[in-house]
Amino acid sequence: MLTFTDKAREMVLTFMDQSGEDQRALRIHVTGGSPVAPSFELTLAENSDRGEEDVEVDAGGFMVVFDQSSADKLKGATVDFTNRVNGSGFEITPPTASLPTPSSGSVPQDELAEKVQSILDEQVNPSIAAHGGKINLVEVKGTEVFMEMTGGCQGCAASQMTLRQGVERAIRQHVPEVTEIHDVTDHAAGDNPYFRD
């Protein structure tokens, strides 16, 4: 159901050891975000904190507890513990198969997609081209936009800052009807990131 990297498992066990109490489990609750980048809370839970509807999974050395909604959203995801320039912490990545992917190079063709593509072509991509990067529009679902970062942006340690502080700001300023912007990039596959961890 959920895979923990060795580093994430080690960190969870360290936190549990430091808490000094037995019979603890890790509770994961999805609080929002997107299918690509869920927002979540991780807390240590005691036996008395577990509800009848909770789903429990053995993660190899400790139990993980979810409410049903969170369990459904995290099926097949991977939990990692990362150290980045701007901080360290747990990161949950959904399975790649569940993410939208470009369909034979075609770009979505509706009014919202055309507006977003125009911003990418005229403002965003010219500025990140200096770093060997490019951002492609993958899909538009209602007012949600799915993008893929390529070239120097794929796997770049600053990619999320670029997306949130640059790309998202430009799109929301010029296309206010966009409600969500999702990054569907497989950053682990980036073979030439501009800025490495």
pLDDT tens track for 42-100: 888 876 677 788 888 888 888 888 888 888 878 888 888 887 666 678 888 776 544 45
pLDDT tens track for 96-146: 544 454 444 455 568 888 999 898 888 888 887 777 788 888 888 888 888
- Identify whether residues 137 and 162 lie together within a single domain: yes
In a 3-state reduction of DSSP, which class is residue 51?
coil
Q: Is the four-CA dihedral 91, 190, 135, 186 of positive or negative sign?
A: negative
Which helix (H) or strand (E) segment is 30 a member of?
A: strand 24-33
pLDDT band at 193 (very low <50, low <70, confident <90, very high): low
User: Is this model's pTM higher than 0.75 or not?
Assistant: no
196 part of a folded domain: no
pLDDT tens track for 13-28: 888 888 776 667 888 8
- Identify whether residues 90 and 15 lie together within a single domain: yes
Backbone dihedral angles phi then psi of residue 84, each to the nearest 5 degrees? -125, 170
H helices present in 43-110, as ranges? 68-73
For residue 51, what are the domain limits?
2-98
Name the DSSP letter for residue 187: G
C-beta of residue 139 within 8 angstroms of C-beta of residue 146: yes
Domain of 81: which CATH number?
2.60.300.12
Contacts for 40-44: CB closer than 8 Å, 24+ residues apart: 40/70, 40/90, 40/92, 42/90, 44/15, 44/16, 44/19
- Identify whether residues 123 and 152 lie together within a single domain: yes
**pLDDT at residue 71, as a whole number:** 82
| Pairwise CA distance, residues 27 & 2, whole Å | 13
pLDDT tens track for 143-167: 888 888 887 777 666 667 777 778 8
- Identify whether residues 76 and 151 lie together within a single domain: no
CA dihedral 16, 30, 95, 65 (to 10 degrees): 40
